Amino acid sequence: MTMMAFSSLFCSTRFIPTPFLSTATNLLSPQHTYASFIPQKKQCKREFPLPAVASVPYQPINFEYLQEEFSGHGVTFEEACGSCVVKMELRNGSTVTMMLPSGLITSYKALMWHGGKVELLHTSVSEGENGDPLIQGGVSLNFNFKTDHDGELSWSPTNWVLHKIHGKPRESIQVELATRTRDDKIGLKYIVTLEKDTLNSQFKISNRRSLPLQMTGSILSHLTLSSPEATYAIGLEGSSYCSTPLFESEFMLSPKDSSQGEGFGKIFPQWGTKSQNNGLKGSQVYNEEIDNYKRLNEELSLLYTEAPRSFTLIDRGRRNSVSVGRSGFDEMYLFSPGSRVEIYSKYSYICVGQASILKPIIVSPQDIWRGEQFIYNPNLDA
C-alpha cells in the first residue's frame, strides 16, 4: 500500500521519465534576476508562525489546516504515507512537486513550444528498509553548519516547515520553507519560486550568533536525460576543475552499499562507496576545461572551482535543452554515470550541484547570506 500511494504521485514506482524530457535556465538574461521573483503588490500571501524548535522532528502535519489556509492560488496539498506533497501549478501548465518535511523537489514539468509538458527532473521511488518508500534524485538541500570554536555547533537541517505562500498562478508562485536551531540563533529559509520558464531555489541564512558560521554542502539537482552519451555541456570552456568522489547525500541517486546487485559500486568500482569517499578528498590536481561542447558520455565526478555562473545541457536524444545557473556559490559539481547505463533508465541523468566544498562559506555574526540555483526552460519558443 505504501508504494502504491507514492506510485500515484510520481506516475511509476521509479518515476523513469517518458519520451519528452530535459530543460533549464539562462542567468545571463536580465528577466531572470532575483528581482523578478519578488512578489508584487496585490499578490496573495499566507503565512503561519515557525515552531519554536525546528531542528528536531515536528509534530504530525495538519493537512486539514494546510488545505483550509493555503489551497488555491496555484498550490494544493496531498497526504502520502505521513509526508505532505505540495504541488505548485501555473496557468500555463508548468508544475512543481515538493515533499515536506524534507524539502525535496521531486518534479518540475515545464511547458514546451509544442504545447506539451516535459519532466526536467529525475526522481526514483523504490522500496527502502522496512518496506518504506525510498525517494532519491530531484532537487535537494545538503548542508552542514559549524562554528570555528572547537566544534561548538554542528548541524545539518533536514526538517522544514511551510512558512509562507504568495504569488499569482498567471505569473509566479512562491513557497517559503523555514527551520532554525534550538537556541533560535541560526535561521534558514528555503524559497522555491515557479515562473513560466524558470524554477528558482533560494537558500537564505541568518546568523544571530556571536561567532562566524561555516557552511559546507550543496544544492543537488538530478536532471533527466535520454542518455549521458547523447548529452553535452555547453559553456564550460576555460573553467578550472578537479576530480572528486561522489557527494555524500541521502538523496543522491546511488546505492549506499556497493555490494548490492546494481549501483555505482559495481558499475564504477573505481569510485567505491559513498562511505569510503566521505570527506571528499578526491584529486587536488586542477585541470582546465578545453572543450566548450563537452560530451558527458564518460564516467565523471568533477568539482569546478572557477566556472561560469550558468551553462546549458543539450540532450540530442530528446532534442531538448536545459540551462542551470547559480548565485552566491563559488563552486559547481558535475556528475555523469557515463554511457554504460541503459537509455531512459534509472541512471539516465546528470547531477549538477551548486556547492561550497573546498571553500566553505563563512557567514559573519549578525549577517545574512543568500545563495540561489536557477533551472531555466528555453523551449517555450519554437
pLDDT tens per residue across span 304-349: 999 999 999 999 999 899 999 999 999 999 999 988 888 888 889 9
Domain containing 88 equals 63-253+282-376
pTM for the structure as a whole:
0.79
Return phi, psi of residue 228, to 5°: -60, -30
Asked, for residue 8, whether it belongs to a domain, the answer is no
Predicted confidence (pLDDT) per residue in 189-240, tens digit: 999 999 999 999 999 999 999 999 999 999 999 999 999 999 999 999 999 9
3-state secondary structure of 265: helix
Quick check: bond before 101 cis, omega within 30? yes
Predicted confidence (pLDDT) per residue in 334-343, tens digit: 999 988 888 8
Question: How much is the mean pLDDT over the chain?
Answer: 78
pLDDT value at 169 more than 50: yes
Going by C-alpha positions, the residue among 253, 249, 220, 248 that lies closest to residue 125 is: 253
**Band of pLDDT at residue 117, cut at 50, 70 and 90:** very high
- CATH number of the domain at 177, please: 2.70.98.10
Question: What is the pLDDT averaged over residues 118-137?
Answer: 87
Predicted confidence (pLDDT) per residue in 25-43, tens digit: 332 233 333 223 223 333 4
- Give the chain's domain count: 1
Question: What is the pLDDT averaged over residues 271-292?
Answer: 61
Pull the grid cell for residue 28.
Answer: 545571463
pLDDT value at 22 more than 50: no
Write down the pLDDT at residue 151: 55
- Count Cβ atoms within 10 A of the Cβ of residue 327 and give its class: 0-12 exposed, 13-18 middle, 19 or more buried: middle
Asked, for residue 357, whether it belongs to a domain, the answer is yes
Asked, for residue 49, whether it belongs to a domain, the answer is no
211/149 Cα distance (integer angstroms): 8
Asked, for residue 23, whether it belongs to a domain, the answer is no
Question: What is the pLDDT averaged over residues 135-162?
Answer: 85
Q: Residues 192, 175: contact at Cβ < 8 Å?
A: yes
Q: How far apart, in Å, are the Cα atoms of 197 and each of 117, 127, 129, 155, 292?
A: 12, 33, 38, 34, 25
3-state secondary structure of 208: coil
Residues for the chain: how many in total? 382
Asked, for residue 16, whether it belongs to a domain, the answer is no
